[in-house]
């Protein structure tokens, strides 16, 4: 097979690579500063099903900033669908909101799970300025076609 050769970079190549990385970091911080790193407003989407509660934090354009769920926190099985788990998920997302410096939020709720109300209550109890609470659960207007009559 022969000996394996390890390619070693020269000192000049290492310096060039370091400069490229530093330039990329400077460029990143400039874009964050121009876009206003301290985002003041955001949207929270609460998806509550029979099995889990998922909360997603986005900016006003809809870009996801953070998300968490009852399963991600550590609840397993049927405990994920409880109101207690939903309030813990809301507390976890609240810590992220405080780190980002978001002050105003609009809440969008989807689903029919038991964690809907407790998630909203725990978000409201934290002192956020909630501008709107909207239910975006899909509602069928006529539904699916029923199955044919069973003939025995």
pLDDT digits (tens, 9 = 90+) for 62-116: 999 999 999 999 999 999 999 999 999 999 999 989 888 899 999 999 999 888 9
Beta-bridge partner residues of 67: 56
**149 lies in some domain:** no
**22 lies in some domain:** no
**9 lies in some domain:** no
**101 lies in some domain:** yes
Whether 128 and 103 have beta carbons less than 8 Å apart is answered as: yes
pLDDT at 135 over 90: yes
Distance in angstroms (rounded) separating the CA atoms of residues 71 and 40: 28
Residue 11 confidence (pLDDT): 78
**32 lies in some domain:** no
Sign of the Cα pseudo-torsion (142, 117, 82, 48, in order): positive
pLDDT at 126 over 90: no
**79 lies in some domain:** yes
Give the CATH number, domain containing residue 75: 3.30.420.80
**16 lies in some domain:** no
Tokens of 103: 């002050």
Nearest-5° Cα angle at 139, 137 to 142: 170
Q: pLDDT tens for residues 13-70?
A: 778 877 877 777 766 554 454 455 567 899 999 999 999 999 999 999 999 999 999 9
Structural domain count, the chain? 1
**55 lies in some domain:** yes
Distance in angstroms (rounded) separating the CA atoms of residues 67 and 125: 19
Q: What is the pTM of this model?
A: 0.69
Distance in angstroms (rounded) separating the CA atoms of residues 137 and 142: 15
Beta-bridge partner residues of 109: 46, 135
Enumerate the H helices of 36-145 as residue ranges. Answer: 70-73, 83-100, 116-124
Provide the domain limits for residue 62: 41-135
């Amino acid at each position: 097979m022969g000996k394996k050769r390890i390619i070693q970079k020269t000192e000049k190549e290492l310096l060039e690579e370091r400069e490229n990385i530093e330039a990329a970091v400077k460029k990143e911080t400039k874009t964050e500063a121009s876009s206003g790193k301290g985002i003041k407003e955001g949207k929270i989407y609460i998806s509550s099903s029979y099995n889990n509660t998922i909360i997603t934090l986005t900016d006003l354009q809809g870009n996801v900033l953070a998300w968490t769920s009852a399963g991600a926190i550590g609840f397993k099985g049927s405990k994920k669908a409880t109101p207690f788990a939903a309030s813990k998920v809301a507390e976890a997302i609240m810590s992220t909101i405080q780190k980002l410096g978001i002050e105003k939020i609009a809440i969008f709720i989807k689903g029919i799970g038991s964690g809907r109300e407790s998630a909203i209550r725990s978000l409201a109890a934290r002192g956020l300025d909630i501008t709107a609470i909207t239910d975006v659960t899909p509602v069928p207007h006529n539904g699916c076609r029923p199955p044919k009559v069973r003939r025995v």
